[in-house]
Amino acid sequence: MTGGAVLVTRPPGGCRWDAVALGEVMLRLDPGEGRIRTARQLRVWEGGGEYNVARGLRKCFGLRTAVVTALADNEVGRLVEDLICTGGVDTALLRWVPYDGLGRSVRNGLNFTERGFGVRGAVGVSDRGHTAASRMRPEDVDWDHLFGVDGVRWLHTGGIFAALGEHTADVAEAAMSAAHRHGTVVSFDLNYRPSLWRDFGGPARAREVNRRLVQHVDVLIGNEEDFTAALGFEVPGVDENLTDLDVDAFATMIDAVVADLPHLSVVATTLREVRSATRNDWGAVAWAGGRLHRATPRPDLEILDRVGGGDSFASGLVYGLLSGLDVAQAVEYGAAHGALAMTTPGDTSMATLAEVRRLVEGGGARVAR
């Protein structure tokens, strides 16, 4: 493997936020152990592929974070805001859009999510058309002020936001370009969702958009489906059921990625083999400077709620890199945080830094008193 540049972040002094996420924040409605189709009660959480990373960095790792997004100004939007505030993520960059009373022109996204159990897989039903975030345009935010004056150290965004609306890929590109002008590191989670691209050009359009955006990325994150569907890189020997995920096959794929995209500093991917909804083999690898680092594998990991596990991996990895850890340590923090996040309900992590460190250091599940 040949390598990307050494990753350097600006120091924390003088920065308003350590990390900012650009993406949609939705209201998750959760039937608990039951099914959406038979639910009589739904618990609410906030969540979103990019936002979840900012929340994990704040609540688990203690960094100062904010989210750049838009919400329709109604009671649902204010509920989402309240949940974001509870998560400790700064709402100073939240853009409020007037609500028309019907949701015809702008609304807030909803995400109904079943956790799954055993042979019944997790199910997500998103209701996100015409959301305020999907209507964002590049000029909605003063990017040079955000990165040049507020001095953000890290920007995280991804393929979900890029696919939301007609102009959201342009918003992401404007943000990432400005970030680089001011020395801010950019991470991007490919997060390919077929439902988002189905009526928006399909896989071909997804590859076109994502290949344009990754030109502005320092740290690229994804899983086996993401790299294949969103960028066109195949993982040798992986079948359509995503079984028998061989690390050597991922090493071969990452070789191809960095040969084609030599500006990348870090390429990281999660490794998940689904044995059942509640038992997964879980791990991760990260490439940097010509070397591949593998996190401690966790075969037959017990899962309560898998949604957000990849986002929690990303936040642990970003924390490690922002904290000056080497990539081998950072990928361990990412994998451990992702594993812990999947032991609790909701999209977002309830883990503590002490718990992550304990798992990284080989600690088990004995009672802590």
pLDDT at 1 over 50: no
Q: pLDDT tens, 169-220?
A: 999 999 999 999 999 999 999 999 998 998 888 999 999 999 999 999 999 9
User: What is the average pLDDT value for the chain, to the nearest integer?
Assistant: 93
The percentage of residues in the chain with a pLDDT greater than 90, rounded to a whole number, is 86
Report the pLDDT value the prediction gives residue 248, as an integer from 0 to 100: 85
pLDDT at 3 over 70: no
CA distances from 31 to 34, 43, 249 (A): 5, 6, 38
Separation of alpha carbons 172 and 187, rounded Å: 11
Nearest Cα residue to 76 out of 29, 139, 124 = 29
Say if CB 340 and CB 356 are below 8 A apart. yes
Nearest Cα residue to 1 out of 331, 264, 287, 263 = 287
pLDDT at 44 over 70: yes
Taking residues 115-120, report their average pLDDT. 96
DSSP output for 43-95: EEEEE-TTHHHHHHHHHTT---EEEEEEEEESHHHHHHHHHHHHTT-B-TTEE
Nearest Cα residue to 267 out of 282, 250, 281, 280 = 250
- Chain centroid to Cα 352, Å, comes to 18
Taking residues 158-171, report their average pLDDT. 96
Taking residues 226-238, report their average pLDDT. 85
Q: pLDDT tens, 12-35?
A: 888 999 999 999 999 999 999 999
> Residue 299 contacts by C-beta under 8 Å, 6 or more apart in sequence?
281, 282
Q: pLDDT tens, 253-288?
A: 999 999 999 999 999 999 999 999 999 999 999 999
Say if CB 83 and CB 51 are below 8 A apart. no
Nearest Cα residue to 267 out of 249, 238, 291, 243 = 291
Specify the residue for token string 């999209």: 347
Q: Phi/psi class of residue 138: alpha, beta or left (left: φ > 0; alpha: ψ in -120 to 50)?
A: alpha
pLDDT at 239 over 60: no
98 three-state secondary structure:
strand
